[in-house]
Amino acid sequence: MDTPDGSAELIELAAIVRAHGLRGELLLKLFNPDSTLLCETPHVFLKARDGSARRFEVESAREHSGSLLMTLKGVDTRDAGEALRGNRVCLTRADFPPPAEGEHYLVDLVGLSVRDAQGNAVGKVEDVIEYPSVTCFLVVAPEGKREVPNLPRYVLEIDAAQALIVVDNLAELELEKPKGG
């Protein structure tokens, strides 16, 4: 999904659960409850169910019982807030602060090359899947797809600067072969 001007892909960070109060404040469900990014940003993009997106200035954002309350400029009644129920709250990757040394954003790992410990090409990261117990990289290769858990046994190194993930013990992981293959 691109921004309204088509300039950048949007990254979903939360969903609007409902209006909160009478003045259009919104209750958000954060996809990463540990993130403070939406409390610090001056604007957000709201993506509707039909895929359209609109940019809004953030007037305020605050933590509330494990969720986030946000007030957007121009959304000043309960009805206006309820009309946004179900929208996804997004930012562009450029809106994120730079990661600390040795850290990375999961969104930056999509598209990275994957090699085994011997340097052989394994495939590319097509997606990052966050399960309750572990984050997995969906690695796609001509012979099929496999989910590689981001655990030391399987992921030896993540080098976002070199666009590379080094893995091991792949024979232990199930390979989903392409349809018809």
**Mean pLDDT over each residue of the chain, to the nearest integer:** 90
Q: How many CB atoms lie within 10 A of CB 68?
A: 23
Tens digit of each residue's pLDDT (9 = 90 or more) over 138-155: 999 989 999 999 999 999
Q: What are the sequence ranges of the domains in the chain?
A: 10-95, 106-172
> Do β-strands 113-116 and 25-30 pair in parallel, antiparallel, or remain unpaired?
unpaired
Tokens 């929208």, residue located: 87
- Tokens 């390979």 — which residue? 175
Contacts of 21 (CB under 8 A, 6+ apart): 78
What are the distances in angstroms from CA 33 to CA 10, 13, 137? 19, 10, 21
Pick the CATH number of 10-95 from 3.40.50.2300, 3.40.50.720, 3.30.420.40, 2.40.30.60: 2.40.30.60
**pLDDT level of residue 5 (50, 70, 90 thresholds):** low
pLDDT in tens, 37-91: 999 999 999 999 998 999 999 999 998 888 899 999 999 999 999 999 999 999 9
Of the chain, the percentage scoring pLDDT greater than 70 comes to 94
Position 31 pLDDT exceeds 80: yes
Alpha helices in 4-153 (DSSP H): 37-40, 78-82
| 148: its two tokens | 């590689």
The helix or strand, by DSSP H or E, that contains position 30, with its residue range, turns out to be: strand 25-30
State how far the Cα of 66 lies from the Cα of 61, in Å rounded to an integer: 13
pLDDT band at residue 8 using 50, 70 and 90 as cut-offs: low
Q: Domain 106-172: which CATH class?
A: mainly beta
Q: At 179, is the pLDDT very low, low, confident or very high (cuts 50, 70, 90)?
A: confident
- pLDDT > 70? residue 137: yes
